[in-house]
Chains A and B, each alone.
Chain A
């Protein structure tokens, strides 16, 4: 019976008041765990800069290549500071009577974090830096949905408000001692917190901002697919830190998380390629790498709970359903999610979150359900967590965007959009020859 260790360790902060002896028994530094978590933290940072940045940069037109790189890089810097000032406290601090929903400000400015403070078997500095890389990549994922048309200033303010009002609470619900973790929802490395959250916020942003000028009648092919393929490779490698690191220890479960991550990504990549090959006659590089990312997303919530064959099954589902999400759904619904943040991360996150409830079954090679849960009640708990995240994230994202649109405007003007955001907003070009 296995919950995410992340929530167990987070609850040790609050639990230590009631059970000091237990907390002290758990809080012994393990150098193996610490070494692995420092590496895992670096791997997850590597996913955003440069992995995700390049993945996105290759897919936009050449006149906007710097704008997406710049957005991802700036998010990385700003979120790091925000996390230290109050983000970590809101997500992992003790919220007192409100703890089911949000953490408190007791750890604001990293109050109490010293060289000696521990979180489980690793230094708290390592734990909070690992978590910092998650609040960096989540808003960076949203960038893909509104690429090539959003003002840089509005984008930054949106991201600051969004992580404060959406990411931090949802992170607290699942991992910080909030109600979802307490309800036995299984989200090992961030299916709801990271991917559904980012995907839904991206979809709402794409709808509120409207389509790019000329979409879909004008051709907007990716300007440099080799960057996208390279970026995907970096994402894939970094994902070992994301998923196996979410065990917060160097143990068997971390090893299994690594194995299932590899299998799901590989399966989803192959499935996407085969579907595309059959449907359109040619297997494409953009197709196989998108399939790989879909598989990585879908295995994220499941990675600590399923076995290798469950991972392959999740990979098949992710490849097929994300294919529909990125190719068909967008066209049918008519929204312009530029780089498929929703089609891949939103859809892949939902597939993974729900299937975690199926393939965690010991009979299917999984590690077992949360206490007292059967497959049916686990799937129900997973589905509820998906629905709550979608509804909460969609409503709050919509309100933030509408308010910002009224105050400062979200979109660049038509001339700037035609010129390209690189020159219009940043005064430079990606390529000078």
Chain B
């Protein structure tokens, strides 16, 4: 099982969700986060006072999938989140040891 984490541009949320649904993903978790990468931040100007804003708003999408779904998941996120401009974000994949359904107590890939 894998844990897929994607950091994307917030306005691409719906595109990514649709692409993941189309790929057969049953559930995702989304959080609003702030951060910076090579895109860096931006400047804001208030009555001549310039502020460097280092952290930009991003969206973090987390998806737990079985091994055979990893490539389809990555492809779907990439398809939904890509604009071709700097700041589109990144996808990280981690190994995941266990998954438990709280309601029934069952474990393993069938939970996902």
Contacts and interface: CB of A to CB of B under 8 A. Distances in A.
A117 interface: no
Tell me which of B48, B52, B53 has the highest count of chain A C-beta atoms within 10 A of its own C-beta.
B48
Interface stretch (B17-25, B39-47, B84-92, B102-110): B39-47
B47 A282 contact: no
Tell me which of B44, B46, B51, B52 has the highest count of chain A C-beta atoms within 10 A of its own C-beta.
B46
Contacts of A340: 47
B45 A222 contact: no
Contacts of B94: none
| A-side interface mostly | helix
Contacts of A287: 47
B101 to A, nearest CB: 32
Contacts of A286: 46-47
B45 A282 contact: yes
Nearest to B47: A326
A280 B47 contact: no
Contacts of A326: 47-48
Contacts of A216: 49
A75 B97 CA distance: 64
Contacts of B46: 221-222, 284, 286
B44 A327 contact: no
A284 B45 contact: yes
Contacts of A343: 47
Contact of B44 (A221, A290, A330): A221
Interface in A309-361: 326-328, 330-331, 340, 343
Contacts of B48: 280, 326-328, 330-331
Given A326-B47, A343-B47, 11 more contacts: A216-B49, A219-B51, A219-B52, A221-B44, A287-B47, A327-B47, A327-B48, A327-B49, A328-B48, A331-B48, A340-B47
Interface of A: 216, 219-222, 280, 282, 284, 286-287, 290, 326-328, 330-331, 340, 343
Interface of B: 44-49, 51-53
